[in-house]
Structure 1
Amino acid sequence: MKTVITFGTFDVFHVGHINILQRAAALGDTLIVGVSTDALNYSKKGRNPIYPERDRMKIINSLRYVNLCFPEESLEKKADYIKQFNADILVMGDDWEGKFDHFKDLCEVVYLKRTPSISTTEIIEVINSVE
């Protein structure tokens, strides 16, 4: 049995999120998803997510591909999360290519292609430009 782990903010949920989670789940038997907390998102991006973490986690937990969802509180804890959940495979989007290779001593690291022409940041920018 293989356990796959991935991480994300999953704000303004869209088809790109579905695609990467579905493809990540296909790599193993169990998919565990770390959802960035509001505080972590603010520290990374300098803004709060549109939807609070409890709502984003509820969305991720509702997906049939996801077996477990947990709050990711710190980028520095990724190795701890990999160990805690005995993950065999870490999946990240290919926009992170090479950035997580240092975890290859803990598990296999796979970068999946992102869905072209869609991102939460772009969606938010389009919405803000309408005002």
Structure 2
Amino acid sequence: MKKIITFGTFDVFHVGHVNILERAKALGDYLIVGVSSDQLNMSKKGRFPIYSEQDRVRIISALTCVDEVFIEESLELKGEYISRFGADMLVMGDDWKAKFDHYKDLCEVTYLTRTPSISTTEIIEVVKSAPTR
């Protein structure tokens, strides 16, 4: 069985999230998803997610392409997560291209093209700038 692992915040869930998770699952037999903790998101992006980590874990867990979900507490623990879950491949969006190549001694590393013209950050900005009625 080929195990795939990926990571993300998955806040304000959208079609780009579905696309990357389905494409990651298609590369193997078992998909493990690390959902960034609220605190990790704050340290990465300077803001807390719109949805709590519990809600985001519940959303990701409900997807048929996802087999297992856990909370990612730290970017520095990716190697430990890869080993702990016995992952054969790490899959990330191409916005992270080459940033995780140092894990190639633990598993295969693949970067997938992101869905064009959609991101959670862009969605949040559109909502914030929308005129109020």
Q: Return the TM-score normalized by structure 2.
A: 0.97
1: CA distance between counterparts of 2:111 and 2:24?
10
User: What is the aligned partner in structure 2 of residue 3 from structure 1?
Assistant: 3
Distance 2:74 2:67 in 1: 21
Instruction: After the TM superposition, list the runs of 4 or more consecutive aligned residues in structure 1 that deviate by more than 3 angstroms.
Output: none
Q: In 1, distance between residues paired with 2:80 and 2:32?
A: 14
Confirm whether residue 52 of structure 1 aligns to residue 52 of structure 2: yes
Residue 100 in structure 1 maps to residue 124 in structure 2: no
d(CA) in 2 for partners of 1:101, 1:48: 28
Distance 1:18 1:34 in 2: 15
How far off its partner does 1:12 sit?
A: 0.2
Alignment gaps of 5+ in structure 1: none
Q: Which residue of 2 aligns with 1:27?
A: 27
Q: Percent identity?
A: 71
Which residue identity does 2:53 align to in structure 1?
Answer: E
Give, in whole Å, the separation in 2 of the partners of 1:101 and 1:58.
Answer: 30
Q: Report the Cα distance in structure 1 between the residues aligned to 2:66 and 2:45, rounded to whole angstroms.
A: 25
| CA distance in structure 2 between the partners assigned to 1:125 and 1:26 by the alignment | 32
**Are residues 1:125 and 2:92 paired?**
no
Q: How far apart, CA to CA, are the structure 2 residues paired with 1:46 and 1:122?
A: 15
Distance 1:20 1:44 in 2: 20
Q: CA deviation at 1:35?
A: 0.1
CA RMSD of aligned residues (A): 0.5
Gaps of 5+ in 2: none
Task: Name the residue aligned to 1:18.
Answer: 18
Aligned position for 2:109: 109
Query: Could you say what secondary structure the match of 1:104 adopts?
Result: helix
Which residue is equivalent to 2:87?
Answer: 87
Equivalent residue pairs, number: 131
| 1:130 CA displacement | 1.1
